[in-house]
A and B are shown apart, each in its own frame.
Chain A
Amino acid sequence: MGTYLLKRLLLLVPTLIGITLVCFLVVRLAPGDPAELIAGGGLKGASGAGLSLEKRSVVDQALAEWRALYGLDKPLHIQYLVWLKNLFRLDFGNSFKDRRPVWDKIRERLPVTIKLNIFSILLVYLVAIPLGIYSATHADSLGDRITTFGAFILFSVPLIWAATMAIVFVCGGDFLYLFPPGGLTSIDYAREWPLWEKIKDQIWHLFLPVVLLSYDGFAGLSRYMRSSMLEVLRQDFVQVARAKGLSEHVVILKHVLRNSLIPQVTILASILPAFIGGSVIIETVFSIPGLGQLGFEAVLARDYPIVLALLTVSALLTLVGILLSDILLAVVDPRIAFGRRGQ
């Protein structure tokens, strides 16, 4: 186990370097000089022709100063190393837009995105696990086929379609007004409201985004649950449990379920990155001030430090997730640590 862990951690080093390098290069190699695009916004026309040599040199000097302010005047590899060094101290630099530290801006938005994702993941598990159990215990029955097919259909519904349909039909356009078209709270939301009213208002606002973020997860997870449960059901100890006269209820819920739940927890890591991507669409459509919206706005405004920070942070978080689930799997199944991985 110890050697496995050590090997796993050592292999993390090249991956970490790779992730930071890819993120850095993608953002920095995009065409267009950030100084011209952002600081030069007002001067852009001025930097063109028709300007006296004297004035142009003033503009150039201003741009050079702006570059120096953000360390963009140094060669690319030095920039990368400096950025990497700051990364270790959780210093992502300052936003181009308002010069506020990127970390502060992320911290403001983080709770919203986390709230959204935790509720979605909970909903996925709450729906998919029972569905999977039902499908496995009624394998190949009509009910199994219907749930499987239904989940499959849901899985194929594009998020952008579901979100737009929701906005058009149930969010107070010309049709129904069941849910608010966006935001996290009502406009007149006030501290003085009784707690129950506050919770109700938040649930009302979060309901659609959470459902939209989770519905496509039902299919994958319930299928996964079904197959891992069927696998456990085939094992001898289940036969033994039944033979010694335990009720079917106890066999399923206590013996089988417990053993088939472990892999479900470990695939959490693989769901996470999808959620971050999904957040961009959902947060943009429902104007929810979370990380996805921050990221998309930063991309459009070419606020490189924010984009870079978001890319890196979500990659690193996913990496930690994968690592944890690998370790968890190794703990559960010692064969993995001995290098006898399956496929």
Chain B
Amino acid sequence: MAQEKRAGPVPVGAVVGLGLAAGAHNRIEGHWSGVWKGLKRNRLAVAGLYTVGFLLIMAATADFLANNKPYTMVYQGRTYFPIIRSGLVKFRLTQWQPELLNMDFKTVAAERIVFPPIPYLASDIDLTAPFESPSTKHWLGTDKLGRDVMAGLIHGSRISLSIGFVAVGIALTVGVILGALAGYFGSWADLAISRIFEIMLTLPTLFLLITIAAMFPPSIFLTMAIIGLTGWVGIARFTRGEFLKIRNLDYVTAALALGVSTRKIMFRHILPNALAPVMVSVVLGVAGAILVESSLSFLGIGVPAETVTWGSILNEARSSTFAWWLALFPGAAIFITVLSYYLVGEGLRDALDPRLRGSR
């Protein structure tokens, strides 16, 4: 796992001077493999982990699961791979073959043509088929513009997850830096940074987000940024607490005595050991960010209106209450995603807490 890699070479630098490298290294490895074992023993957390993995794969392969272009097509004796081609065209690596340009793949008289399981893109408007209930043609029905809900869910997972990860990445960066400064230096730095914590805690986060998202032009990047910039307080407080504890440990004193620079002590020696409890709030934070993003889309702000997201499909159900499929499926997608991140986060918390370890 990624954490193991990060935690591996941890305080080794500091302890090398004392000739304890091997012992310390083993201890840390032991810690993380213990956590991993604890996590694996928790069946719910494992189920959550599988779901998270499944969602990541779905987001990564969205173009191959739901697309209005075929995987492969034999047309006038030549073989084409339009989905791969369209991906390359998007990144400007190549251009469409002239004969495929503006081709309607659905009606073309190809010798052989293989479509993905859901032969629609999330944005494919079909005004002849609005509000179709779930059928074999549209597995999860269509919305008021005839857009396929299943395709919307698959491509929407990409937006949800990327906003979740980037927002938490931003929150992690800000939170760890501020928390580290407050916890390591204490006194005035702590006092000042704790004021910032207090300010962030008192501001009504969701309303603040709604305000910013509605007043600025809609954009995915802005949504990521503001969710990240309002969601770091929990991470910062955990980091601060860990730094307070760790900075008084002997190995830090040893590093100080060796003349290791402050920055190196903070980020190379203390931080990797402080990350464990922070990981829990990172995992929970992804779920939180996904929830916030879907709430913003639900209110019709944040992500551009033409982008189909889980929240925006759910929003349509409000005004078309007969279309139950518009309410049930996107909401269930958000629920399952959030639940699985929570399960992983809770499992990680239990696995990290030595008091709970072995009690089950």
Contacts and interface: CB of A to CB of B under 8 A. Distances in A.
Interface stretch (B108-116, B120-128, B169-177, B325-333): B325-333
A307 interface: yes
A153 B204 CA distance: 25
B217 A15 contact: no
Q: Is the interface of B mostly helix, strand, loop or mixed?
A: helix
Interface in A304-338: 307, 310-311, 314-316, 318-319, 322
A296 B210 contact: yes
B157 interface: no
Interface in A6-39: 11, 14-15, 18-19, 22-23, 26-27, 30-32
B49 interface: no
Contacts of B332: 161
Contacts of A174: 321-322, 324
B261 interface: no
Nearest to B214: A299
Contact of A161 (B191, B287, B314): B314
A175 B339 CA distance: 27
B331 A160 contact: yes
A284 B328 CA distance: 19
A156 interface: yes
A167 B320 CA distance: 10
B199 A277 contact: no
B215 A165 contact: no
B340 to A, nearest CB: 9
Interface stretch (B1-9, B83-91, B292-300): B292-300
Given A160-B314, A165-B328, A285-B318, A19 B215 contact: no
Contacts of A27: 211, 215
Given A165-B328, A280-B206, A322 B201 contact: yes
B54 to A, nearest CB: 17
A159 interface: yes
Interface in B319-360: 321-324, 327-328, 330-332, 334-335, 338-339, 342, 346
A343 interface: yes
A319 B202 contact: yes
Given A299-B215, A318-B202, A158 B291 contact: yes
A162 B328 CA distance: 10
B234 to A, nearest CB: 12
A237 B262 CA distance: 47
A168 interface: yes
A299 B301 CA distance: 11
Contact of B202 (A14, A300, A315): A315
Contact of B208 (A165, A175, A302, A311): A311
A15 B203 CA distance: 11
Contacts of B299: 280-281, 284, 296
B130 interface: no
B310 to A, nearest CB: 9
Contacts of A280: 206-207, 210, 299
B311 interface: yes
Contacts of A310: 207
A173 B324 CA distance: 9
Nearest to A219: B342
A180 to B, nearest CB: 13
Nearest to B291: A158
Given A161-B334, A299-B214, A310-B207, A15 B202 contact: yes
A152 B342 contact: yes
Nearest to A160: B298
A157 B335 contact: yes
Interface in B152-174: none
A156 B208 contact: no
Nearest to B192: A14
A171 interface: yes
A19 B199 contact: yes
Contacts of B324: 168-169, 174-175
Contact of B217 (A31, A284, A295, A299): A31
B279 interface: no
B208 A26 contact: yes
B202 A11 contact: no
Contact of A158 (B205, B216, B323, B331): B331
Contacts of B204: 273, 276-277, 311, 314-315, 318
B321 A171 contact: yes
B212 interface: yes
A231 to B, nearest CB: 12
A281 B294 CA distance: 12
B264 interface: no
A318 B335 contact: no
Contact of B205 (A152, A155, A165, A277): A277
Given A153-B339, A311-B204, A314-B204, A167 B318 contact: yes
B104 interface: no
A23 B212 CA distance: 11
Interface in B179-238: 191-192, 195-196, 198-199, 201-208, 210-212, 214-217
B34 interface: no
Contact of B198 (A31, A296, A314, A319): A319
A151 to B, nearest CB: 12
A195 to B, nearest CB: 33
Centre residue among B191, B294, B299 by max chain A CB count within 10 A: B299
B216 to A, nearest CB: 6
A43 B346 CA distance: 56
B195 A15 contact: yes
Given A161-B335, A171-B321, A284-B299, 10 more contacts: A26-B212, A31-B216, A152-B342, A156-B342, A160-B314, A160-B334, A299-B211, A311-B203, A318-B202, A322-B198
Shortest 3 CB-CB contacts between residues of A and residues of B: A161-B331, A277-B206, A173-B321
